Structure 1
Amino acid sequence: MPYISLLNYWKNHDIEGVTNMVDDQVAAYYINEIGEPVALSKSHLIDMLHKRMKQVESNKNLQWNFEVIHRAHIYDKQTVIFYTYSQESSDYHETNKTMIAITFSARKANDPSPIKSIYITPNVKDFHN
Structure 2
Amino acid sequence: MPFISLLNYWKNHDIENVSNMIDDHVAAYYFNELGEPVALNKPVLIEMLRKRMKQIETDTHLQWNFEVVQRARIHDKQLVIFYTYSSENPNYQETEKTMIMMTFNSRTSNNIGRIKSIHITPHIKDFHN
Per-residue Cα deviation, 1:69-115 (whole angstroms, up to 9, x for no partner)? 00000000000000000000000000000000000011111420000
- What's the counterpart of residue 66 of structure 1? 66
- RMSD (CA atoms): 0.6
Per-residue Cα deviation, 1:47-75 (whole angstroms, up to 9, x for no partner)? 00000000001100000000000000000
Matched, 1:45 2:45: yes
- What's the counterpart of residue 7 of structure 1? 7
What stretches of structure 1 move > 4 A for 4+ residues in a row? none
- What's the counterpart of residue 30 of structure 1? 30
Q: d(CA) in 2 for partners of 1:76 and 1:111?
A: 13
Which 5+ residue runs of structure 1 have no aligned equivalent? Answer: none
Q: d(CA) in 2 for partners of 1:119 and 1:110?
A: 26
Which 5+ residue runs of structure 2 have no aligned equivalent? Answer: none
- What's the counterpart of residue 89 of structure 1? 89
Matched, 1:117 2:114: no
Q: TM-score, normalised by structure 2?
A: 0.99
Percent identical among aligned pairs is: 68
Number of aligned residue pairs: give it. Answer: 129
Letter of the structure 2 residue corresponding to residue 19 of structure 1: S
Q: TM-score, normalised by structure 1?
A: 0.99
Matched, 1:76 2:76: yes
Q: d(CA) in 2 for partners of 1:55 and 1:84?
A: 14
Matched, 1:55 2:35: no
